[in-house]
Amino acid sequence: MTDGLILLALFHNATRELLAFAAVGIALCSLDDLFVDAVFLVRLGWRRATVYRRNLRASADSLDPAAPGRFAIIVPAWDEAAVIGAMLRDLTARLDHPAYRVFVGVYPNDPTTAAAVAGVGDPRIEIITCARSGPTTKADCLNHLWRALLADEGRHGRFKAVVLHDAEDVVDALELRVFDHLIPRLGMVQLPVVPLVDARSRWIAGHYMDEFAENHLKDMAVREALGAAVPSAGVACAIERTMLGRIADQAGGEPFDAACLTEDYELGLKIKALGGRGALVRIKGRTGVVATREHFPGDLESALRQKSRWLLGIALGGWDRLGWRSGWADRLMLMRDRKAIVSALLTVIGYVAGLFALIDVALVGAVSGTKGFAPLVAPGSWLATVLAFTSIVLGWRLTMRAVLSGHVNGWREGLRSVPRVVVGNMINALAALRATRRYVSMRRGRSTLVWDKTAHRFPGVP
């Protein structure tokens, strides 16, 4: 056997091993996905056959509380001068509710953001300047806002709930009406988050549309159905005032953990641990579902910064901080959240294995002397069975994503979601590597937590 054939034989065998590794890993990671899909479809079918046949679906306009509650809206803002003014003007003009106050957290070394907030000139908006120069952490800013709303309660009375928003959010006019109706029956109400279409970034910004559609239409509903904790998205979320106070009491007076990158995610778990119930609520509004809409990163670097922060806080830091909660449903959902890094890397390994397989087939077919090579995938072998299973699962998952994204974003975006899966998987894999590197650095004491935010956009603001 010539040196060339020896190298080809080594490549052939290595490709088979890589295929086997990727196929087994992806198959195992698909099992909980299939379970969640099954629960979602059974729940959807049951509700359509029973609940929706007996009761008309409510609309937010039909919710009219006899005694409207008072709401505190808290908006942390570091380096948000470009969008915060437009966001606050839109919010105060849009919200259909008689009693709310907006607390905006700014920093002493960010005077342009403070000036943009002051320029709105609405008496319902209060500017809170953090004690330290920014950026600190988002949770630190939120804790300053918490103390400010407590002081406001001493003057004007207790709030019914605290609503979380970011500086780039386009709020729905009826969101406070929905919160008013459901709180305090629920300890936390999360409304859907819908990424806005970005014509300049159909692929990078667009993949957020598909992921949020699947997560907020299906995954969050399954969490609630199984009795697992429903995590907060950090925006379009209302937490019952007494519940947030209990969380603060347990943490020495500050409800948001400044040592956490994803303090909003952990809120839902803390509420569940205290006996409260959270839910993602989809209800018809005046222009579609009542939801918060916003732009997401449209360039690769910004997307990687955002997603690596999420993965670091949820999949890695969350494991250290929270461990594994009691109850099989919570453990299952924690496992799903934490397997994101492994799944992202396995998917890319699968892409590489598939590319190698195509190259191998071409080379083995073109080079003489390869008749003695064993088939890359022998018919009827265990590997052929696993590959067939993963192929069926891939087709099913692509179909589910297209249907769910199409339901939320329109059929054109549903079709685009299929090729966008590749873009999303590559972004998630690169973000997983970045998150892992940063986690190792933090464990070694080489880096500290800071507010690693991305630049934001608001509709109509150039």
* Rounded distance between C-alpha atoms, residue 450 and residue 444, angstroms: 16
Note the pLDDT tens digit of each residue in 232-260. Answer: 999 999 999 999 999 999 989 999 988 78
| 402 class by beta-carbon count within 10 Å (0-12 exposed, 13-18 middle, 19+ buried) | buried
User: What tokens appear for 153 in the block?
Assistant: 């309660």
191 residue type, one letter: L
* Rounded distance between C-alpha atoms, residue 238 and residue 71, angstroms: 9
Note the pLDDT tens digit of each residue in 7-35. Answer: 888 999 999 999 999 999 999 999 999 99
Indicate whether 1 pLDDT > 60: no
Phi, psi angle pair for 106, to nearest 5° = -125, 175
Domains, the chain, in order of start with CATH, read 1-57+297-462 (no CATH), 60-192+236-296 (3.90.550.10)
Quick one: which H or E segment has residue 382?
helix 382-409
User: What tokens appear for 236 in the block?
Assistant: 């379009």
| Beta-bridge mates of residue 190 | 237, 280
User: Can you tell me whether residue 63 is helix, strand or coil?
Assistant: coil
- Among candidates 73, 74, 77, 72, which has minimal Cα distance to 138? 77
Edge to edge, what strands does the sheet with 188-190 contain?
A: 125-129, 100-106, 71-76, 161-164, 237-240, 188-190, 278-280
Q: pTM for this structure?
A: 0.93
Note the pLDDT tens digit of each residue in 36-86. Answer: 999 999 999 998 888 777 767 788 988 877 689 999 999 999 999 999 999
Phi, psi angle pair for 396, to nearest 5° = -65, -45
Phi, psi angle pair for 63, to nearest 5° = -90, 110
| 275 class by beta-carbon count within 10 Å (0-12 exposed, 13-18 middle, 19+ buried) | exposed
- pLDDT (mean) for 105-118: 98
